[in-house]
């Protein structure tokens, strides 16, 4: 479904991503692992059109997307939930959710998807009229993911969703991600929390200094000496 081929990204003379190739099949959860600064976020920004690749190609189905605008990539069905949530803090929870559907015209479908989001994250329905800034960190992360779902994604890209969250909240959101995936949405999960990512994903990639240094099934990565030494502390 999503195919990233030999993509490189530079910031000035600094190469942040160096010939990365990854893919996400329909209905798959794929993890991208690596330390802070490894190039994971830049990879997501390249896929979502926020940072144009200098080399390589990105395709989604039969559509080449690496020269499309971010809005056209959203229209194609790829949604990026960024690190740090990036909510509209003074807007209500409901208005933040509706903003996620800003490219959609199907009012009945938007209403149905709102109910799906509220089923996944009941607290958002309870707090629908509250400003986003009044939510806890975990609730804000739920809202950020919910806003992404309102765009009706085919692939949902999540950047460090567990960052700064309590373990019980991380687990709740992890269960929601599984439910989202079971509905047919592919997930590309960028995480420093390696145990968490590998528990959710079927496959994964390990990135170091902008390059893929290891890839495979989650069980294989979990048992890899490189992953154990560098990321699991085993």
For the record, the structure tokens of 24 come out as 């996400």
Domains of the chain: 2-232 (3.40.50.300)
Instruction: Convert the pLDDT of each residue in 88-107 to its tens digit.
Output: 999 999 999 999 999 999 99
Strands 2-11 and 55-60: antiparallel
pLDDT at 234: 47
N- to C-terminal Cα separation, the chain: 34
Instruction: Convert the pLDDT of each residue in 142-158 to its tens digit.
Output: 999 999 999 999 999 99
Give the pLDDT band (50/70/90) at residue 230: low
Assess whether pLDDT exceeds 80 at residue 229.
no
Structure-model confidence comparison of residues 192 and 108, the more confident one: 108
* Residue percentage of the chain with pLDDT more than 90: 84
Nearby residues of 14 by Cβ (< 8 Å), 6 or more positions away: none
Angle among Cα 206, 212, 217 to the nearest 5 degrees reads: 50
Beta carbons within 10 angstroms of residue 77's beta carbon: 19
Enter the pTM of the model.
0.92
Assess whether pLDDT exceeds 50 at residue 66.
yes
**Average pLDDT in the chain:** 93
Closest to 187 (Cα-Cα) out of 218, 219, 164, 231: 218
pLDDT at 140: 96
């Amino acid at each position: 479904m999503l195919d990233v081929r030999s993509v490189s990204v530079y910031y000035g003379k600094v190469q942040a991503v160096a010939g990365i190739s990854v893919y996400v099949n329909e209905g798959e959860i794929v993890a991208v692992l690596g330390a802070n600064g490894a190039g994971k976020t830049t990879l997501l920004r390249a896929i979502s059109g926020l940072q144009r690749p200098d080399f390589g190609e990105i395709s989604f189905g039969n559509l080449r997307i690496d020269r499309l605008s971010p809005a056209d990539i959203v229209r194609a069905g790829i949604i990026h939930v960024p690190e740090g949530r990036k909510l509209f803090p003074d807007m209500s929870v409901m208005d933040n959710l509706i903003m996620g559907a800003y490219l959609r015209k199907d009012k009945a479908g938007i209403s149905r998807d709102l109910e799906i989001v509220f089923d996944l994250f009941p607290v958002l329905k309870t707090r629908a009229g509250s400003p986003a800034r009044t939510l806890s960190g975990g609730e804000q992360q739920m809202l950020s993911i919910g806003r992404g779902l309102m765009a009706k994604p085919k692939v949902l890209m999540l950047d460090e969703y567990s960052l700064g969250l309590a373990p019980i909240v991380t687990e709740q959101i992890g269960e929601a991600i599984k439910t989202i995936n079971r509905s047919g949405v592919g997930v590309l999960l960028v995480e420093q929390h390696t145990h968490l990512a590998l528990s959710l994903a079927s496959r994964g990639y390990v990135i170091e200094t902008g390059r893929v240094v290891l890839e495979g099934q989650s069980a294989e990565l979990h048992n890899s000496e490189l992953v154990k030494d560098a990321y699991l502390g085993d």
